[in-house]
Structure 1
Amino acid sequence: MSSLAFSLLPQLASNKVEVCKLELCVVLLNDDSTYPWVVLVPQQNDLREMHDLSEPHQLLLMKEINLCSKKLQELYKPDKMNVAAIGCVCPQLHIHVLGRTEGDRAWPGPVWGAHPATPYDEETKAKRVEEIKKALLG
């Protein structure tokens, strides 16, 4: 792990807002109101793949992914939760957790590149951040 303070690459910081910090990950809200969608980023520099984490941190990452998936499911009642660590556009390790609803704009295909994002208005974005933060942190 780098001795430098943790930082997000610009591609991850763009179009996202911090929801909260968990033990390992910072949780970001993706600014696309089409889906309930968060991005988890382990707070360690120079990670590209999940196997770059120590084994205890790999297990903690899975625990945090599961927590986010369950809480988004409870809050927004999607038909299916999608979890992905693709990293083609941004090499920094990050995991997308998003809810899909049958008949949504991209259904049944992948959301990436299906259509332009529909940003939240500021009031709705602030409300969504608080809902998710409260669900994750209690």
Structure 2
Amino acid sequence: MIFKLFKKYQSVIAYLFFGGLTTLINFVVFFIFDSGLHWNYQVANFIAWFLSVLFAFFTNKVWVFGSKYTTVKAFFIEMWSFFFYRILSYFIDAGIMFVGISLLHANSSLTKLIDQVVIVVLNYFFSKFFIFKKRN
């Protein structure tokens, strides 16, 4: 029974695990550049986004969705698709950060935490239904 449930929700569990690690990378890198080095929060956010997206691509491809490819071209198409959708979510990410920090004057770490919850859900949707979908 438990094994059946695990098997049924294996990709969701793996996504939550690796999504959690990706979020942790994003948050730690943001904190280092924002609070530690006192860089502009949008620059810190972009660096955090870029590094976490690199990590996420490979973990999602291999361990979450088990995506396999037979050609180099197929790999780069999948990578392009992944980055395209992550760029879309980055603009939402940057928008949330701008509203939270610049307009509402909220704490940057709290804003980043709320932002990441929204982005993780959005990125799962993009990955599951557009990027790593089963191809015939």
Per residue, is there more strand in 1 or in 2?
1
Mark yes or no: TM-score above 0.5: no
* TM-score, length of structure 2 as denominator length: 0.31
Greater Rg by CA: 2
Per residue, is there more helix in 1 or in 2?
2
